[in-house]
Amino acid sequence: MESNPALVALVAANVRRERLAAGFTLAALAEATNLKVPNLSRLEGGKTAPNVVTLKRVADALGVPVCRLLDPPPPELKKRKGK
């Protein structure tokens, strides 16, 4: 199955936003998820599509529901970005 580039980019941006909001470095998130830093870096860079298990591990470590990593940013974030 091919990945959707727009969805991969959306997930990448959401993971990065949530990681930074939670105060995690890539190394800290890697430790919390038992994933490797290069894999998380590729995920955040939009270079790889994460599987469901990876998304769940990342979401759990960040304390957010998986849907937050899949959905477009909330309207208040879109407004701030557009300023």
Number of folded domains that form the chain? 1
pLDDT per position as a tens digit, 37-65 = 999 999 999 999 999 999 999 999 999 99
Average pLDDT of every residue of the chain: 91
Under the banding of pLDDT at 50, 70 and 90, the label for residue 30 is: very high
User: What are residue 47's phi and psi, to 5 degrees?
Assistant: -90, -10
- Boundaries of domain holding 68: 5-82
Q: What is the pTM of this model?
A: 0.86
29 has pLDDT over 70 = yes
Structure tokens at 78: 């879109």
Under the banding of pLDDT at 50, 70 and 90, the label for residue 17 is: very high
1 has pLDDT over 90 = no
- Assign residue 53 the CATH number of its domain: 1.10.260.40
